[in-house]
Copies of this chain bind each other. A is one copy, B any other.
Amino acid sequence: MATQEADVLIVGAGLSGLIAARTVLQAGLTPLILEADNRVGGRILTEELGGLPMELGAQWIGDTHHRMFALAAELGVQTYPQYDDGETSYELAGTGVLRGNDFHSRFADELAELEKVLRRLDELAAEVSPATPWTAPHAAEWDAITAGAWYDAQGLSPVARTLLEICTVGILAVPTVEVSFLHLLFTIQTCGVTSELFAESEGGAQTTRFVGGTAEIPNRLATLISDHIVFESPVQLIEHGTDRVTVHCRGGRTATGRRVIVALSPMLAGRIGYDPPLSGYRDQLTQRMPNSAAMKAFFIYDEPFWRADGLNGQLISDIGPARMSNDTCILGDEHGVILLFLEGEQARTHTHWSEEERRAALTAELVRHFGDRAATPLHYLDGEWGSRQWTRGCYNANCGPLVWTTYGPALAEPIGPIHWASTDTATEWSAYMEGAVEAGERAAREVIESLNA
C-alpha cells in the first residue's frame, strides 16, 4: 500500500477532527483524516429506531453554543427547541413519586440549600480560568480534595446532597468523589455558570436539537471533505521530526505530512505510540484523564402520553437504573420518545446486565413516573460507550486530584509537529460539541500559522 501524502494529517474523524480538516482545507492546505472506525462522528452517533433518529451520543446544543449554531446554519441543518412544558417527576428520599409542584413545595428548604451551594460554586468557579485552571489562586487547595468531599462538607440535607450529586453526575458521568474539586470548578467555568449546567428544566446546555439527528452535522461536514478521509485506519504509531510526520495504521496504511493533529480524547491519544517517545510529563497526563461512563436508553411509544398529564417527560430519581430522563420526541413525528440517562455508577452497574434486564428495570421506573402506558413501548434501544473500542467511554475525560495542577499545561501544548484537538482540550464548553469545534479550529489555526511562518 502506497504512502499517502498531505500537508496536515488528522487522527480521528470526530467533530473536532472534521472541523480541523475543513479549516485546514479552507486555508489552502491539504488535510488527511485517518479514522479508526468505519464512520465519522466519534461521540456523535445517530441510530435509527422505528424509523426515527435516536442520539446515542451528543444530542443538544445550548443558547451560548455560538459556534455550533453558526455551523448548523452553514451546513443547512435546521434546529428545533427541546420540549419543556409541564412538571418534572421526582422520586427522592423515599417519598415515592411526586410531581414537580408537590416536590418543590414539600422540599422548599432543601431546594433553597441547593441553590445556595450552586451560587457558592459559581463564585468559586469564577476564580478559575478554563484555559489555565492551575493558575487559580486556590488551585492547590481545590485540586487536593474531591468534589464529593467538598459537597459532603457543605452540611446539606440528604435531599439537597442527593440532588446535587444527580445534577453533577449528569455532567461528569462519574461520581463526584472521582474528580478533584478544581476539575468541577473548571467544568462549571468552561460552561459559564451552574445554571447553564445543572438546570432542572432543560435550559442551559440542552435547549436545542437538530432536525434529522445530530449526526447530520458530522455527516455533512464529511461530505465537504470526503476526498480527505480514510476509514478503518487506526493509528498505532506517529513518527515525527522537524516539519515531518509519518503515521502508521493497523493493517499497514501509512501517511506522511508536515503536521499532525491528534483529535482524540487524551487517554486515546496516550495509547498511540510516538517515535521519538513523548515526555513523561505528557505521557503521565494521558494516564490520568480517564473517560467517564454513560449510557442512553430510548423508549418509543405511539404518542407522548405524559404531555396530556401535564408532565414534561423528565424524571429525577435516586432509585431505579436511571437518575434522569427527557422527552426527546422528534419534530414533525407524533410518536412519544423518552430518553433515560444512566451515568457514572448507574452506567457501570447496568452494562453488566442483559439488555432485557435493563429494559425491564427502566420500564418499571417509567411506569412509576408516567403511568401504565409506559409499560408498552413500541421500540427500545440502549447504548453505552465504554465497549466501543474507538471511544472507550463518554461523555468526556475527567481529572482526579492533582491532575490539573500537576499536568494541566501538557493537555493542549503542541509537541514539535504534533497538535492536540478534541473537546477535552477546549476552554469553552469542554466536553460538549461546542468545545469540539473550538478545539478543532484552534489546533488547525496553530498548524496553519506554523506552516505559514
Contacts and interface: CB of A to CB of B under 8 A. Distances in A.
A236 interface: yes
A259 interface: no
A299 B393 CA distance: 46
Contacts of A144: 148, 175, 177
Interface in A8-51: none
A275 to B, nearest CB: 9
A281 B146 contact: no
Q: Which of A145, A293, A387 has the most CB of B within 10 A?
A: A387
Interface string A99-115: 00000000000000000
Contacts of A267: 287
A386 B250 CA distance: 26
A223 interface: no
Contacts of A149: 145-146, 149
B178 A401 contact: yes
Interface in A42-96: none
A102 to B, nearest CB: 32
A338 to B, nearest CB: 24
A125 to B, nearest CB: 21
Given A280-B386, A284-B393, A287-B267, A401 B402 contact: no
Interface in A371-415: 384-389, 392-393, 400-402, 406
A386 B149 CA distance: 30
Number of copies: 2
B236 A392 contact: no
B250 A273 contact: yes
A387 B276 CA distance: 11
Contacts of A250: 236-237, 248, 273
B352 A281 contact: yes
A280 B384 contact: yes
Q: Specify which of A146, A250, A287, A288 lies most central, judged by the most chain B CB atoms within 10 Å of its CB.
A: A287
Interface string A145-180: 110110000000000000000000000001101100
Contacts of A242: none
Contacts of A274: 389
A277 interface: yes
A283 interface: yes
7 contacts: A144-B177, A145-B149, A146-B149, A149-B149, A279-B386, A287-B392, A288-B290
Given A174-B402, A175-B401, A280-B393, 17 more contacts: A145-B146, A146-B146, A146-B401, A148-B401, A178-B400, A250-B273, A270-B271, A274-B389, A279-B386, A280-B388, A280-B392, A283-B387, A283-B393, A284-B291, A284-B393, A287-B393, A345-B406
Interface of A: 144-146, 148-149, 174-175, 177-178, 234, 236-237, 248, 250, 267, 270-271, 273-274, 277, 279-281, 283-284, 287-288, 290-291, 293, 345, 348, 351-352, 384-389, 392-393, 400-402, 406
